[in-house]
Chain A
Amino acid sequence: MGRSQEIYIRAPRFGNINRILGKAVLYGVVTAMTLPIIIMYLWLFMQSVSEKVLIGFIPSGFTADGWRFLWGPVKFGEVLLPPIWPITLNSLIIALGVTGIEVSIALMAGYALSRLRVPFRDSFLILIIILHAFPGITLLIAIFYLLNVMGLINTLLSVIIAKAALEIPMATWLIKGFFDAVPWDVEASALVDGCSRLQAWYKVILPLVKPGVAAVAIFAFLAGWNEFIYALTFIFDPNLYPLSIHIIGLIGEFRYVDYTLLAATALFYSIPPLVFFVITQKAFMKVPLVGMKGA
Chain B
Amino acid sequence: MGLISNNPSVRSYIYMIIFLGPALFLILFFWILPVFSTIFLSFTNMGMRKPNWEWVYLKNYMFVGAHPFSQKVAINTLVYVGATLAFNVLIGLLLAILTFYMDDRTSLVYRALWLLPRASPPVVYGLLWLWVLDSSEYGLLNQLLAPIYGKPVPWLVNYAMPGIIVINGFIGASFSLIVFSSALKAIPPDYLMAARVDGASELRIVKDVILPLMKWPIMFVTAWQTLSLLASYEYILIVTDGGPFFETEVWSLFAYHQAFQHLELGFGAALAMILVIIALIAVLIQMKLFRFREMITPVKIEHT
Question: Interface residues, chain A, CB within 8 Å of chain B?
Answer: 3-4, 7, 10, 26-27, 29-30, 33-34, 36-41, 43-44, 55-56, 105-106, 108-109, 111-118, 121-122, 125-126, 128-139, 141-143, 146, 161-162, 164-166, 168-170, 172-174, 176-178, 180-181, 184, 187-188, 191, 196-198, 208-209, 211-212, 214-215, 218-219, 222, 225-226, 228, 244, 247-248, 251, 262-263, 266-267, 269-270, 273-274, 277-278, 281-282, 285-287, 289, 292, 295
In the complex, identify which listed stretch (B58-66, B72-80, B95-103) lies at the interface while the others stay far away: B95-103
Q: A138 contacts B284, CB within 8 Å?
A: no
Q: A44-B128, A134-B276, A215-B179 are in contact. List 10 more A-B contacts (CB 8 A).
A: A37-B113, A41-B128, A106-B23, A135-B252, A141-B265, A218-B178, A219-B178, A226-B122, A270-B116, A273-B119
Interface bin, chain B: 35 or more
In the complex the two chains form, is B283's CB within 8 Å of A108's CB? Answer: no
Contact for B300 among A174, A184, A226, A295, CB less than 8 A: A184
A218: chain B residues within 8 A (beta carbon): 115, 178
A to B contact number (C-beta, < 8 Å): 289
* In the complex, B163 has a CB within 8 A of chain A: no
Task: Check B119 against A274 for contact (C-beta < 8 Å).
Answer: yes
Interface set of B (CB-CB < 8 Å, partner A): 1, 3-4, 12, 15-16, 18-20, 22-24, 26-27, 29-35, 37-38, 91, 94-95, 98-99, 101-102, 104, 106, 108, 110-124, 128-129, 131-132, 138, 140, 143, 170, 175, 178-179, 181-183, 185-191, 193, 196-197, 213, 216-217, 220, 223-224, 227-228, 230-233, 252, 255-256, 259-260, 265, 268-269, 272, 275-276, 278-280, 283-284, 287, 292-293, 295-297, 299-302, 304
Query: Could you tell me the distance in whole angstroms from the C-beta of B126 to the nearest C-beta in chain A?
Result: 10
Residues of B within 8 A of A244 (CB): 121
8 Å CB contact of A112 from B20, B129, B138, B278 = B20
* Measured CA separation A44–B124 after assembly (Å): 9
Residues of A within 8 A of B138 (CB): 55
Question: Which chain A residue has the least Cβ–Cβ distance from B221?
Answer: A174
Given A38-B113, A116-B19, A247-B121, A138 and B33 contact (CB-CB distance below 8 Å): no
Judge whether B228 and A132 touch: CB under 8 Å: yes
Q: Which residue of A lies closest to B129 (CB)?
A: A40
A169 and B1 in contact, given A138-B268, A211-B185 (Cβ under 8 angstroms):
no
Given A105-B23, A126-B284, A211-B185, residue A165 in contact with residue B29 (CB < 8 A): yes
Q: Verify A222–B119 contact, CB threshold 8 A.
A: yes
Main SS of the interface on chain A? helix
Beta-carbon nearest neighbor of B252 in chain A? A135
Residues of A within 8 A of B227 (CB): 129-130, 132-133
Q: Which secondary structure dominates where chain B touches chain A? A: helix
CB distance from A196 to the nearest CB of B (A): 5
Q: In the complex the two chains form, is A135's CB within 8 Å of B233's CB?
A: yes
Judging by beta carbons under 8 Å apart, are A146 and B33 in contact? yes
Q: Collect the chain A residues with CB atoms within 8 Å of residue B4's CB.
A: 196
User: Which residues of the other chain, A, contact B27 by a CB distance below 8 angstroms?
Assistant: 128, 131, 165, 168-169
**CB distance B185 to A285 under 8 Å?**
yes
* Complex-state Cα separation, A129 to B140, whole angstroms: 39
